[in-house]
Amino acid sequence: MLEQSKFREVVKNAPLVSIDLIVKNQSNEVLLGLRERSPAKSTWFVPGGRIWKDEKIDAAFRRITESEVGIALDLKNARFLGIFEHLYKENFADEPGFGTHYIVLAYEIKLLTEHPALPLIQHSDYQWMSEKHLLQDTAVHPYTKDYFLQGKMADQHLRNLPD
C-alpha cells in the first residue's frame, strides 16, 4: 500500500481502478452500506474497493469480497455487469482542489445465505434494499442507482453527477 502523501498524488493525477459488488440475497434484494469515508460519504453505496498495483483482478475480487462482505468469493461465480466511470468532486482526504476518478468493474454476486458478519470498516451500517426501493431512495448514491438503470445497463456508464 502507498503512503498517504503518495496516494494523494495518484488520486490528483490518475484514475483509480476498482471493483463494485452488486450483492444480492435469495430475495433478490441488494446489499448497501452507509459510507463512512469520502468520496460518497454518508450515502448508501454498494460494497467495493480498489485494485492494487500488480494485483490480478481475480485476487482483488477475493480480497475485496472478504474485506467488504466478510466472505472471500471467486470471480468465476460472479456476473460481469460492465465498466463504469465515477467522477467525484471530493477525495479520500477531504482536501480542496482535486476530486477522484474511478474506473469501475461492476460484478453481481448472489449469496445463498444471509451473511450476518458484515465488516464495519468502510460502512457504518448495512441494509438490504429492493431494486425499486433503492432507485427511489434519495439517500442512495446516484452511481449505485446507475447499476440498475443501464440498458437497463448500457447507456449511462459515463454518467457525471450534476454540479
Find the CATH number of the domain harbouring 29.
Answer: 3.90.79.10
Q: What pLDDT sits at residue 8? A: 85
pLDDT of residue 121: 64
Domain that holds residue 57: 4-149
Report the domain count for the chain.
1
Identify whether 37 is part of a domain.
yes
- The answer to whether residue 157 sits within a structural domain is no
| Residue 28 resides in a domain | yes
pTM for the model stands at 0.86
**What is the mean pLDDT of each successive set of 10 residues along the chain, which is 163 residues long?**
84 95 94 88 92 96 92 93 94 91 96 69 79 93 91 45 44
Reduced DSSP (H G I as helix, E B as strand, rest coil) percent helix, strand, coil of the chain, to 5: 25, 30, 45
Whether 159 maps to a domain, the answer reads no
Q: Is residue 154 part of a domain?
A: no
Predicted local confidence at residue 126, as pLDDT: 84
Whether 107 maps to a domain, the answer reads yes
Cβ-based burial of 119 (10 A; exposed 0-12, middle 13-18, buried ≥19): middle
Whether residue 162 lies inside any domain: the answer is no
* Predicted pLDDT of residue 111: 86
Cell 467495493 belongs to 48
Residue with cell 438503470: 149
pLDDT of residue 49: 94
In a domain, 113, yes or no: yes
